[in-house]
């Protein structure tokens, strides 16, 4: 209601200003102040052409100042990203030409055809040829851009190659969760009602049977890995299975030029192939601290700004070495099941006198722990 009231007040103010301006114009005509109006008209025409020149200078200056701070000079770090950069470049060229032509003509006409008592107005109500030109030409240009965009979209969301690595990316307020399949190359089933951050089960992996929820433990869950950093492999396609645990998020991969919504209950997918490792990008940018990022490109709450994750792109050998060191998330939830945490049976000590390694005995011949005479 307050927004509607604000809009109504703004509209009313503009109407009042317009009416005052028109009334002032009528009063000036009645008083014979046409000469003053002609002078103001010349000033306005000069200001128009001045604004055009200063505006074009501002466009050029802004480009010089900020272009180097964008991701465009770096180039895309994925195969699909390179195609998106090409599409973006062509869009800028086409719309840029239209922008400069129309703006220059707009302000030049305001200056060139300012009011003149000796000029007769020429009414140009209709022209079929012009109507056809400025309808067909933009339609063709926009159709070409849309077709290119759809082609890239279908390529990004189509079925990934058979050798593609799969990783699940889940957004939550306010962070990202990653999951890799284990040695079985299968993701275990999940269920939202068994999500429990306190029990190290942020995705709701089904580890146990539940008669109340009609769930059965999925063995594929026992070897799934959930690292805190997303690792990808150079020159290997990666398929991202994207989901959300609460509200709508958006996976933003700016250096790969990829973007996809994360919708609760509706998994979405994209795939691409990284072309530069993190080390290679650090050398290319001259920034030893460079990191690939995953961000949330959808306003998702008060902590939206903090939804930033790190992506590391490595070689296949480096990835295999890293993955071999990761423990399944099952062991984080059930540390007693982790073989590394189980108490190992100690090796029987050796009797320094007899060399007997089978059992250290006391002077009475009883095993250690049973002899009351052992000192």
The span from the CA of 233 to the CA of 275, in Å, is 9
pLDDT per residue as tens digits for the range 151-177: 999 988 899 998 899 999 999 999 999
How far CA 80 is from CA of 72, 73, 221, 233, in Å, comes to 15, 17, 32, 15
pLDDT at 254: 93
Torsion of the alpha carbons at 14, 15, 17 and 23, rounded to the nearest 10: 160
Tokens 């890799």 map to which residue? 180
Assign 258 to helix, strand or coil: strand
Put simply, whether the predicted model's pTM sits higher than 0.85 gets the answer no
The span from the CA of 267 to the CA of 72, in Å, is 30
Torsion of the alpha carbons at 71, 77, 79 and 84, rounded to the nearest 10: -10
Q: Per-residue confidence at 297, pLDDT binned at 50, 70, 90?
A: very high
Between 287 and 31, whose confidence is greater?
Answer: 287
The span from the CA of 51 to the CA of 73, in Å, is 30
pLDDT per residue as tens digits for the range 317-371: 999 999 999 999 999 898 888 888 765 544 445 444 444 443 333 333 333 333 3
Phi then psi for 171, rounded to 5 degrees? Answer: -90, 145
Residue 375 CB-density burial (10 A; 0-12 exposed, 13-18 middle, 19+ buried): exposed
Query: Which range among 52-66, 92-106, 285-299, 337-351 shows the weakest confidence by mean pLDDT?
Result: 337-351
Task: Find residue 250's DSSP bridge partners.
Answer: 261
> Topology of domain 165-338, per CATH?
Immunoglobulin-like (2.60.40)
pLDDT per residue as tens digits for the range 205-252: 999 888 888 889 989 999 999 999 999 999 999 999 999 999 999 999
pLDDT per residue as tens digits for the range 254-267: 999 999 999 999 99
Distance of CA 243 to the CA centre of its chain: 14
């Amino acid at each position: 209601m307050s927004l509607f009231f604000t809009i109504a007040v703004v509209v009313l103010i503009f109407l009042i200003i317009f009416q005052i301006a028109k009334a002032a114009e009528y009063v000036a005509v009645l008083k014979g102040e046409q000469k003053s109006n002609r002078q103001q008209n010349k000033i306005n025409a000069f200001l128009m052409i001045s604004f055009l020149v200063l505006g074009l200078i501002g466009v050029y200056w802004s480009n010089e100042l900020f272009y180097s701070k964008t991701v465009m000079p770096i180039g895309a770090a994925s195969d699909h990203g390179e195609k998106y950069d090409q599409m973006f470049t062509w869009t800028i060229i086409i719309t840029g030409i239209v922008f400069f032509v129309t703006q220059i003509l707009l302000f030049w006409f305001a200056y060139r055809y300012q009011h003149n008592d000796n000029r007769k107005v020429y009414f140009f109500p209709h022209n079929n040829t012009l109507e056809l030109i400025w309808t067909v030409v933009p339609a063709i240009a926009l159709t070409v851009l849309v077709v290119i965009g759809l082609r890239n979209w279908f390529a990004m969301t189509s079925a990934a190659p058979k050798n593609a690595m799969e990783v699940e990316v889940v957004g939550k307020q306010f962070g990202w969760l990653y999951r890799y399949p284990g040695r079985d190359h299968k993701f275990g089933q999940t269920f939202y009602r068994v999500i429990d951050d306190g029990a190290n089960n942020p995705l709701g992996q089904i580890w146990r049977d539940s008669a109340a929820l009609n769930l059965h433990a999925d063995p594929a869950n026992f070897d799934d890995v959930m690292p805190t950093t997303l690792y990808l492999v150079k020159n290997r396609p990666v398929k991202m299975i994207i989901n959300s645990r609460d509200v709508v998020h958006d996976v933003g991969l700016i250096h790969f030029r990829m973007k996809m919504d994360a919708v609760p209950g509706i998994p979405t997918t994209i795939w691409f192939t990284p072309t530069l490792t993190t080390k290679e990008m650090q050398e290319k940018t001259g920034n030893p601290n460079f990191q690939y990022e995953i961000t949330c490109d959808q306003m998702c709450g008060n902590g939206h700004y903090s939804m930033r994750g790190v992506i590391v792109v490595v070689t296949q050998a480096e990835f295999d070495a890293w993955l071999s060191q990761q423990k399944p998330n099952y062991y984080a939830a059930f540390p007693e099941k982790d073989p590394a945490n189980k108490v190992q049976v100690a090796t029987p000590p050796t009797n320094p006198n007899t060399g007997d390694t089978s059992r250290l005995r006391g002077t009475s011949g009883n095993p250690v722990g049973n002899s009351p005479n052992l000192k």
